[in-house]
Amino acid sequence: MDAQDKKIATDLSYEIIKEVSRAIRPYVGKPESGEKVKIGADGTPTSFIDIVAEEKVINILKNAPVLSYIISEEIGELKLGKGTKRSISLTHELRREDIEDDERPKFIFLVDPIDGTSNAIKEIPAFGISIAVASVPKGRLATLNDVELGFISNFGNGNFFEAEKGKGCWLNNEEVHPTNIVNFSDITLGGFTKSGTSSASQLVDNARRMRVLGSVVLEISYVASGRYDAFIDLRGSRIIDIAASKLILEEAGGIITDKYGEKLNNKLSIHERTIVIAANNKILHKQMIDTLNDNQTDFIGKIGIVGRIDQNRSILFSAKIIDYLLINGREVVIEKRLAKKLQDLKENPDLSKIIKKTQRDYPDIAHLLDDINFKIDYKQIAEDIFAFDCDMAIVLGGDGTLLRAQAKMKDETPIFGINMGTVGFLTEIESKNTFEALEYVLSGNYYKEKRSKLVVSHENHHYSAMNEVVIMTEKPAKMLHFQIKVDGEIIEEVRADGLIISTPSGSTAYAMSAGGPIVDPKVDGFIIIPICPYKLGARPFIVSDNSEITVKLLKKGKSAVFVMDGQRNEEAEYEEEIKFKKSDKNVYMIRTSTKYFYKKVKEKLREGGINKEGDWC
């Protein structure tokens, strides 16, 4: 956005603020203004006063001399300007390649015409308008990083905030900055919590004062100007509410992230929401993140053990870990198959020879296999893996072992992986660092990393996959013909040896070997990769994980096999469809550091991961 475009966008924003203020003034303080007239595009009730405000916004942008996209609370996503008004899907519009330059909008306006509607109806002076203006990217979806201008006007008291990316933040034409307070006991905290969130209660209880004004837009701006020291919204704020205030706070020098301290860069959409943690400075922000994640680092009292049973190293090492956990006062359960192997090894007359041979074969962990205590009744603490009900599961093995274990355990049991395979990309640590890392984890110094899963539907049957689903022919060297749809729209028809539908977790596995991109697990998307396609233009796709992917077999007489995480095979016939959606259940990994993914990429993938052992933290 050049200087001229910024002036155009700023002038339009000023006009919108002036006209909306004028239009709603007769309705402020009138109970009838709060009459619910419909459900807005964002799924929340819309009041009469909201309609009055939004109509002014729409009319100004419709009659503007430039084209713009708008995302607004009540009416949704539109294309406006030069006398036209048309409903659109912004995601679809930004993907289009057939728009002529003179028909391509200059701006994306994100507008909440009245934030704090209830306050306006009751004439409480904390309600206003929020306008964020983003540039229109080419060839990709728009995100919060594309927002370049932010304007917030409190209609209740006349305060006016504005910010320009890289230029600073102003309140009533004076530059503002947050406070430098760092102690919980001194802070003024604003925001919204969720019932039963003990960590949020700790923040509220320790803060000097707590404010709830009912306006996310204004309250984040109050952190920017020093009226608040921090703000939280654990319910999840709409992107249209925070787009302007995020820029205002960051330009003032404050910090705003999600619950885990990650920067907000959500896509611009009427449906997008995010938890918000805002603070005046990095020191206070880190304390808030640590406190809020205490409910993610609960005391680990009961631990399940799953391990490879095809190698003595893993079985012996599990015995050492079980003894360590029991000494440290933890309750332990062992997968039945592993328990049987341990009991057999315990009763083996050549046990000492087996231990010595394992120590010779694996010198890096030789010292850890000294003095293993086998005076434990393993059968007594054995359990079927399906019945595990524990705070954490320790999985000893490679990625295959971990994938098998997570598929069998109860949904969302946190997993701590110890690499005893070849690559071990999903595992947390190498075996030599096990007990140092376990001490760290058991003392509460850990993080939960969320990984998405796929739900696979075929002929009224449903399956799940954490990494990927591979569709291929039963007969080697034979091609299949696929039709691929995303949300009902055909995106590709291709002949290929196979097809991979991958989660971000799977992007470093088969999908990478097949030429797909490496995708950060925090990205909300799925990857579609044709395997050896017979088509020059067939390339991988990354699609939203809110989408439904449908794959249909088009070649008559040819059947296919689809394989979930390399574990389970099912068959599909000609013209049958296989559907893929995001599971409502996630997989959680226990991590000893938030800086995990790119470190693993460098360690594990540069040379194939064989015999490349990295540090654990």
CA distance 170 to 163: 6
Q: Report the 10 Å Cβ neighbour count for 210.
A: 14
User: In the beta sheet, which residues pair with residue 170?
Assistant: 162, 175
Cα dihedral: 238, 243, 246, 251 (round 10):
180
Are 499 and 466 spatial neighbours (Cβ–Cβ below 8 Å)? no
- Kindly indicate the confidence band of residue 617, based on its pLDDT and cuts at 50, 70 and 90: very low
- Kindly indicate the confidence band of residue 615, based on its pLDDT and cuts at 50, 70 and 90: very low
**Two structure tokens written together for 125:** 């002076």
Q: Which pLDDT value is given to residue 236? A: 87
**Two structure tokens written together for 54:** 């939004």
At 18-43, the pLDDT tens digits run 999 999 999 999 888 888 876 766 66
At 297-338, the pLDDT tens digits run 567 889 999 999 999 999 999 999 999 999 998 999 999 999
CA distance 353 to 312: 11
Are 425 and 400 spatial neighbours (Cβ–Cβ below 8 Å)? no
Q: Which pLDDT value is given to residue 280? A: 94
CA distance 582 to 543: 11
CA distance 347 to 377: 11
Nearest Cα residue to 339 out of 307, 363, 362, 365: 307
Residue-by-residue DSSP string for 405-418: HHHHSPTT--EEEE
Give the whole-number percent of the chain exceeding pLDDT 70: 94
Q: Which pLDDT value is given to residue 196? A: 53
Nearest Cα residue to 554 out of 510, 495, 470: 495
Helix boundaries (H) for 236-395 = 239-252, 282-292, 312-327, 336-346, 351-361
Give the whole-number percent of the chain exceeding pLDDT 90: 66
- Kindly indicate the confidence band of residue 611, based on its pLDDT and cuts at 50, 70 and 90: very low
Nearest Cα residue to 116 out of 162, 153, 70, 169: 153
Q: Is 323 helix (H, G, I), strand (E, B) or coil?
A: helix
Q: In the annotation, is 399 catalytic?
A: yes
Q: Which pLDDT value is given to residue 295? A: 44
- Kindly indicate the confidence band of residue 592, based on its pLDDT and cuts at 50, 70 and 90: confident
Q: Which pLDDT value is given to residue 613? A: 43
Q: Which pLDDT value is given to residue 528? A: 97
For 120, residues 6+ apart whose C-beta sits below 8 A from its C-beta are: 24, 27, 28, 29, 33, 49, 114, 127, 155, 156
Domains of the chain, start order: 3-175 (3.30.540.10), 184-296 (3.40.190.80), 302-451+594-605 (3.40.50.10330), 454-582 (2.60.200.30)
Q: What is the pTM of this model?
A: 0.55
- Kindly indicate the confidence band of residue 205, based on its pLDDT and cuts at 50, 70 and 90: confident
User: At residue 400, does pLDDT exceed 50?
Assistant: yes
Q: What is the mean pLDDT of the chain?
A: 89
At 517-545, the pLDDT tens digits run 999 988 999 999 999 999 888 899 999 99
- Active-site option among 112, 146, 229, 399: 399
